[in-house]
Amino acid sequence: MGSNSEKTNRKSADERRISFIVWAPHSARASSLSERLNARLHLLHQKFRKKSYALFKYRTLSEQTKTILFEEKPEIVIAQIPPIFCASSALDYCKATNSRLVVDVHTGAFDKIWSIFRSKTLHVLRQSTLALVTNNSLAEMLDSMQVRSLVLEDPISRITTKSKTQLEDGTNVAVISSFSPDEPLSEILKTADKVSNVNFYITGDLKFAKKEYIKTKRENVVYTDFMDYDSYISLLNSVDAIVVLTKREDTLLSGGYEALALGKPLITSNTSVLVNYFSKGAIHVNNTSDEITKAIEKVTSDKIKLGKEMEELRSLKEKEWDTKFNDLKRILDFV
């Protein structure tokens, strides 16, 4: 038990100065965590998309990050990676001011191009107070590299809207997509070609979609394009099930959290991370058209049962998340 002086020196989350830095135009995870930690969230981004502009972009974002931090003077900085340069810029501030760095590590931090910066990533992580991760596999990997980590999945959104979107007759499913290479969208389109009385609403900004996906018109496929948040939630609140798939093994998908928040049946990939987390209310598939088709048939017949299971899982996960969040606050010396 700590002394009275130790208790006096501790501060609650409301009293601490915390800044959350993300080099992206949006981050649902960062927004939710910032709200719960009373942190000031900064979503920094440049609109350059060409790889040739990367050096200039990251240099500019690094300067912006340091300017913000030295003006706000936070005691704790949370920086999301990738890119690793976001956290390394925050680390420069923390070293100069004796502040603490928490790195919010997404699975992609060690994938593909970012693997080139593996040594830099490890250096930053080992200099940080804590690495936040979304699954046990990533935590085990970091622990083996002498990086202190804590598993904290995305907070379950507090969605209160009851708004609904008028949809077609039949079974309606929302396919949550960003047209990323890890999404087996071609298998979903094959499914759409061979099922009847099932409508697919595929979300995501169409400027990132392959032309081959959208050039063929299908009566039962609607590409929603980019949607504002209220319209997006209204759509998810209206469908019979949510489909969100990935080829990545160690990724927890934000679309799954949205299904959980809304109590909607979920069709998702058969990876160990997703199977372990979505243990109720979900149908896990191997990303093939045949399995997706069978999953949709099951949703059509069992959607009430699956929906109730998802609501039960939501209650369980909310309690688990609160426990882990309290662990985070203890590590950061919050009362």
270 vs 115, higher pLDDT: 270
Cβ atoms 189, 209 nearer than 8 A: no
**From CA 217, how far away is CA 233, in angstroms rounded?**
25
Give the pLDDT confidence of 203-240 residue by residue, as tens digits. 999 988 998 888 888 999 999 999 998 999 999 999 99
User: Terminus-to-terminus CA distance in the chain, angstroms?
Assistant: 13
225 vs 158, higher pLDDT: 225
Indicate if the pLDDT at residue 118 is higher than 90.
no
Indicate if the pLDDT at residue 16 is higher than 80.
no
Give the pLDDT confidence of 267-306 residue by residue, as tens digits. 999 999 999 999 999 999 999 999 999 999 999 999 999 9
CB atoms within 10 A of CB 200: 22
Res 25: pLDDT? 86
Domains of the chain as residue ranges with CATH: 12-152 (3.40.50.2000), 171-317 (3.40.50.2000)
Res 4: pLDDT? 39
Q: Which of 113-122, 140-149, 301-310 has the lowest mean pLDDT?
A: 113-122
What percent of the chain is predicted at pLDDT more than 70?
Answer: 90
Give the pLDDT confidence of 167-189 residue by residue, as tens digits. 999 999 999 999 998 999 999 99
Res 50: pLDDT? 54
What percent of the chain is predicted at pLDDT more than 90?
Answer: 72
Sheet-wide strand order for 149-151? 40-43, 18-22, 76-81, 100-105, 130-133, 149-151
Cβ atoms 172, 201 nearer than 8 A: yes
265 vs 110, higher pLDDT: 265
At residue 113 the predicted structure's pLDDT band, cuts being 50, 70 and 90, is low
At residue 308 the predicted structure's pLDDT band, cuts being 50, 70 and 90, is very high
Res 7: pLDDT? 41
Give the pLDDT confidence of 23-42 residue by residue, as tens digits. 998 888 999 999 999 999 99
Indicate if the pLDDT at residue 3 is higher than 50.
no
**From CA 116, how far away is CA 112, in angstroms rounded?**
8
**From CA 120, how far away is CA 114, in angstroms rounded?**
10
DSSP of 37-84: HTPEEEE------SGGGHHHHHHHHHHHHHHHHHHH--SEEEEEESSH
**Mean pLDDT over each residue of the chain, to the nearest integer:** 89
Res 160: pLDDT? 75
Res 254: pLDDT? 86
